Structure 1
C-alpha cells in the first residue's frame, strides 16, 4: 500500500472515530440508585431526581413562557401541574436530548374539548442546544428546560415509566 493511500485511510479512520466519539459524548451511563420519581417545583424553578425520599440530583430549570397555573390549552405557554410519567425519549431532539411527559391526561383532554380547544401535547424535559439559558427567564412552550450537560445526566438516570410530579 502506498503512503498516500495509507495516509488517506488513516485520515478517514480518524474522521470516523472523532465523529463517533462526538455522538457518543451526549449519551452518558448511570449505575447509581434508581430514580423512583421526578419532582418539579415550578415556583422554585427546580427539578429533583429522587430515590424514595432522598434527592439524588437537582437542577435549575426554565419553564413555559407563562408558567403560572396548570396547562389547559395548546399555546397557553404554561407548564402542566399534577402527576404524569415519563413516556418517551428523543435522542434527536431539537433541544439536544429530551424526555417526554405523558401530558395531556384524559382529564386534560376532556377539559380542553369542553372549552372547544385542544389540550396540546409534546411536553418534554429537554436541553437548550445553545438556544436559551435556564433560570428565571422562562421561554419554552410549556416544557422544562435544563442545560445540555444536565439533560445528558437526566436522560441517563430517568427511565421510561418514572412518575413525575409537577407542582406549583
Structure 2
C-alpha cells in the first residue's frame, strides 16, 4: 500500500514540479596561466551578449569573469529606471564597501557620450521629454552567498554590472581608480 502511494506521489511530483528543475552550470573565472599579475595599465571590457567581464593589460587578455546586468533586454540604457546597463567607455571614479552588495566600483556614468545619446534620443521622441538620464552605475557584488544569480544568468540589478563577491575582491585588487571600463553588446 505504501509503495502505491509513493509511486502516485512521484508521478504527481514529476508532472507538477520536476519540470521546474534545471541544471545550473558553475560559471568560473578564466585566467591567463602564464602570468600571476597584470602588467602595465589594466582595463576592462564588459560584453553583455556573452555575460562576461574581461580584464586586459599591456600584454593582452588577463582574465574573464562571469557577470549579470539589469534588464534581460541587453540594449543600451535609455533613461533612469529602465534597468538597462549603459554602453560606452567609462572610468572607475571611486570604490566603496556596500552593506548589501559587498563592494562597489563606481563608474563615471553619465559621461559626455552618454549625455549626447540621451539628448539625441529625447529629440527623436524615443524617450519621454520628462525622462532623466540616471546615474549610480557600478560594478558590484551580489547578496552574501548568492552566486547562483550569476551562475544562472539572472539579471537583477538596476543597470549595474554584478559579479560574484569573491571575483569582485580580485577585481578590486586589479583595477585602480581611473581604470577604463568599456561596456558593449
Q: TM-score range by the shorter chain?
A: 0.7 to 0.9
Map 1:15-26 onto structure 2 (within 5 A): none
Secondary structure of the structure 1 residue equivalent to 2:102: coil
Task: Please point out which of 70, 93, 96 is paired with 1:64.
Answer: 70
Q: What number of residue pairs does the alignment pair up?
A: 139
Q: Which residue in 2 is equivalent to 1:158?
A: 175
Say whether the 8 Å CA contact 2:42–2:174 is kept in structure 1. Answer: no
8 Å contact from structure 2 (residues 44, 56) kept in 1: yes
Query: Over residues 106-134 of structure 1, what are the superposed CA-to-partner deviations in whole Å (9 max), with x where a residue is unaligned?
Result: 34335546432111111111110325621
Q: Which structure 2 residue ranges, 5 or more long, are not aligned? A: 1-35, 123-128
* Normalised TM-score (structure 2): 0.67
Tell me the TM-score normalized by structure 1.
0.74
Bigger mean CA offset, 151-160 vs 103-112: 103-112
RMSD of aligned Cα (Å): 2.1
2:134 aligned with 1:120, yes or no? yes
Shift of 1:34: 4.0
